[in-house]
A and B are shown apart, each in its own frame.
Chain A
């Protein structure tokens, strides 16, 4: 079975210039809680998930020394939210995302999701996003396979 046989062909796309405030609003509404960021030529530039949104708000020094959390300003998070309002998708997204092609096998998609601990994979054709394979679709596929037996 190939990726094109199971993928959802309507992934949610946004532009590189879309801002933090806008992204947060629509990320909550989209089907798989993932947005694919495309450039002016509709080519895939990056991926944006809830984790990327939270990452922007957390100072990087905490990844080196977590103990500093205890002396941080109680309103730091809220302050950082306001400061980040105008950041663009390019500044927030995860660049160089892992992708699959329509003709790749389902096992390849499943393995990439498992090994890289991600929730979904964009399906690309000439760098254009043509579909999405999230974990939910893999589970549906498993159910289908079992039903056939």
Chain B
């Protein structure tokens, strides 16, 4: 009976999130509340027991990075970089598009995707207006670049943060495994952009001169704050690079960095904290509890049995499981928010590992078994890149489309997917080749 009640809460929450009939944060919190009031998971389990509880490492890593980004965004750095790039491109539209895509990808890999597009989209609209060009090629390239760039690092996209936290992967693990894939994917992506828009983007010489005449330094609002923010960000990135060796969790680094920046920047914490994405954070909290409930009643074990019979993994090879996970994650993440999907997939893959792989000395030795690792990388690549597949696949897409509409350049669902679906399929095909070559051919 408890099994079915938990399953209904889980599926009901998923259904409501997909249908968008009710705000997703409200859905997650009511689902979590029901799981606890019906004692499917006790409050103690939901708050404190590692197996079922909210993953506070994820929550505090997100909070820390949100604080740092919030303060950094007040400096004008993003706008400065965009205008600087446009000038370096000598006002040539296609080169500007490529530079903007690269800036978006790098910033999305180090910071959160939503803030990146939120700050780059207005300056993109401005540049397109100055060039007297349709901003669509620029905007669609930036959205795609944001989701591709975010895939590269542990902190780039929530699925990576969740996977890393649960199975104790380090920042450098992602640099060794997903970042090379992203380099390939991004290179092909740029070629695709050239094919799609390269011939359409030309402007007259006098228009290009307008870009060259701009003074990007007027955009830096506060040099002192910029130096402090970049200093702290640099230290935090260094902290991430070394956290595995020094045995610190990423959240520790992010929270300490955020605290230092709050102190040295002299920003009012009331203002900064008020501007954090609290709905996203509570969405995570609610989802962790909902998933904790279905893990406890055994739904996830049953699903993992299904996965085992479908993909037939063994302790020697999980090739079919890895590729199935990659494509299934990509398709699901294009349709549903990738956060609930990954939150459910992590215990599913973990259960499968415990069922198939030999019992190790500890949890880490099983979930980080060399046979299983390609499955985790496939999940990360699929869930992050799949977000490109539809206008609602990732928050960056929703934000960009919203801003474009506000600025008088609406992007229809159809127009978005005409470009997004082929590009997403392309990125997943490259990911498939990467997983196959790197983990099953080259070994």
In the complex, the answer to whether A61 meets B219 with C-beta atoms within 8 Å is no
In the complex, the answer to whether B76 meets A59 with C-beta atoms within 8 Å is no
Kindly supply a per-residue 1/0 record for chain A positions 57-98, scoring 1 wherever the CB is within 8 Å of any chain B CB and 0 otherwise. Answer: 001110111011011110000000000000000000000000
In the complex, the answer to whether B79 meets A67 with C-beta atoms within 8 Å is yes
In the complex, the answer to whether B79 meets A64 with C-beta atoms within 8 Å is no
**Closest partner residue, chain B, to A68 (CB atom):** B126
Given A61-B129, A65-B79, the answer on whether A71 and B122 have CB atoms closer than 8 Å is no
Residues of A contacting B: mostly: helix
In the complex, the answer to whether B215 meets A61 with C-beta atoms within 8 Å is no
Chain B interface, number of residues (Cβ within 8 angstroms): 23
Q: Give chain B residues whose Cβ lies under 8 Å from the Cβ of A59.
A: 125-126, 129, 407
Residues 94 to 116 of chain A near chain B (Cβ within 8 Å): none
Cα separation A70 to B80 with both chains bound (whole Å):
11
In the complex, the answer to whether A70 meets B126 with C-beta atoms within 8 Å is no
Interface residue? B221 (CB, 8 A)? yes
Partner of B122, one of A61, A70, A72, A73: A61
In the complex, the answer to whether B407 meets A61 with C-beta atoms within 8 Å is yes
Question: Would you give the shortest CB distance from B205 to chain A, in whole angstroms?
Answer: 16
Interface residue? B214 (CB, 8 A)? yes
In the complex, the answer to whether B214 meets A71 with C-beta atoms within 8 Å is yes
In the complex, the answer to whether B76 meets A71 with C-beta atoms within 8 Å is no
Interface residue? B275 (CB, 8 A)? no
In the complex, the answer to whether A64 meets B216 with C-beta atoms within 8 Å is no
Given A59-B126, A65-B122, A68-B123, the answer on whether A73 and B221 have CB atoms closer than 8 Å is no
Interface residue? B218 (CB, 8 A)? yes
Cα separation A70 to B76 with both chains bound (whole Å):
11
Kindly supply a per-residue 1/0 record for chain B positions 73-115, scoring 1 wherever the CB is within 8 Å of any chain A CB and 0 otherwise. Answer: 0001001000100000000000000000000000000000000
Question: Would you give the shortest CB distance from A91 to chain B, in whole angstroms?
Answer: 12
Given A71-B214, A71-B215, A73-B210, the answer on whether A64 and B406 have CB atoms closer than 8 Å is yes
Cα separation A48 to B340 with both chains bound (whole Å):
48
Partner of A68, one of B122, B215, B221: B122
Q: Give chain B residues whose Cβ lies under 8 Å from the Cβ of A60.
A: 125, 406-408
Given A71-B214, A71-B215, the answer on whether A64 and B130 have CB atoms closer than 8 Å is no
Cα separation A136 to B353 with both chains bound (whole Å):
78
In the complex, the answer to whether A64 meets B403 with C-beta atoms within 8 Å is yes
Cα separation A93 to B36 with both chains bound (whole Å):
54
Q: Give chain A residues whose Cβ lies under 8 Å from the Cβ of B129.
A: 59, 61
Cα separation A72 to B219 with both chains bound (whole Å):
11
In the complex, the answer to whether B79 meets A68 with C-beta atoms within 8 Å is yes
Question: Would you give the shortest CB distance from B365 to chain A, in whole angstroms?
Answer: 50
Interface residue? B119 (CB, 8 A)? yes
Q: Give chain A residues whose Cβ lies under 8 Å from the Cβ of B215.
A: 70-71
**Closest partner residue, chain B, to A72 (CB atom):** B126
Interface residue? B63 (CB, 8 A)? no
In the complex, the answer to whether B406 meets A63 with C-beta atoms within 8 Å is yes
Interface residue? B121 (CB, 8 A)? yes
Cα separation A78 to B85 with both chains bound (whole Å):
27
Residues 45 to 87 of chain B near chain A (Cβ within 8 Å): 76, 79, 83
In the complex, the answer to whether A64 meets B210 with C-beta atoms within 8 Å is no
Partner of A65, one of B119, B210, B408: B119
Q: Give chain A residues whose Cβ lies under 8 Å from the Cβ of B79.
A: 65, 67-68
Question: Would you give the shortest CB distance from B75 to chain A, in whole angstroms?
Answer: 10
Cα separation A67 to B219 with both chains bound (whole Å):
7
Which of B122, B210, B221 has the most chain A CB atoms closer than 10 A to its own CB?
B122
Q: Give chain A residues whose Cβ lies under 8 Å from the Cβ of B403.
A: 64
Partner of A71, one of B83, B121, B407, B408: B83
Cα separation A94 to B76 with both chains bound (whole Å):
33
**Closest partner residue, chain A, to B129 (CB atom):** A59
Cα separation A67 to B218 with both chains bound (whole Å):
9
Q: Give chain B residues whose Cβ lies under 8 Å from the Cβ of A68.
A: 79, 122-123, 126, 219
Partner of B218, one of A63, A65, A71, A73: A71
Q: Give chain B residues whose Cβ lies under 8 Å from the Cβ of A65.
A: 79, 119, 122-123, 126
Residues 213 to 229 of chain B near chain A (Cβ within 8 Å): 213-216, 218-219, 221
Which of A65, A70, A71 has the most chain B CB atoms closer than 10 A to its own CB?
A71
Given A65-B119, A65-B122, the answer on whether A70 and B219 have CB atoms closer than 8 Å is yes
Q: Give chain A residues whose Cβ lies under 8 Å from the Cβ of B210.
A: 73
In the complex, the answer to whether A67 meets B407 with C-beta atoms within 8 Å is no
Question: Would you give the shortest CB distance from A129 to chain B, in whole angstroms?
Answer: 29
Q: Give chain A residues whose Cβ lies under 8 Å from the Cβ of B221.
A: 67
Cα separation A61 to B76 with both chains bound (whole Å):
16
Q: Give chain A residues whose Cβ lies under 8 Å from the Cβ of B216.
A: 71
Question: Would you give the shortest CB distance from B414 to chain A, in whole angstroms?
Answer: 23
Given A59-B126, A61-B126, A65-B79, the answer on whether A71 and B219 have CB atoms closer than 8 Å is yes
Q: What are 14 contact pairs spanning A and B, CB under 8 A?
A: A59-B126, A60-B125, A61-B123, A63-B406, A64-B407, A65-B122, A65-B123, A65-B126, A67-B219, A68-B219, A71-B126, A71-B214, A71-B218, A73-B130
Name 4 extra pairs, CB < 8 A, besides A61-B126, A67-B76, A73-B213: A61-B122, A68-B122, A68-B126, A71-B219
Could you tell me which B residues sit within 8 Å of A by CB distance? 76, 79, 83, 119, 121-123, 125-126, 129-130, 210, 213-216, 218-219, 221, 403, 406-408
Rank and list the top 4 A-B pairs by shortest CB-CB distance, nearest first: A65-B122, A61-B125, A70-B218, A60-B407
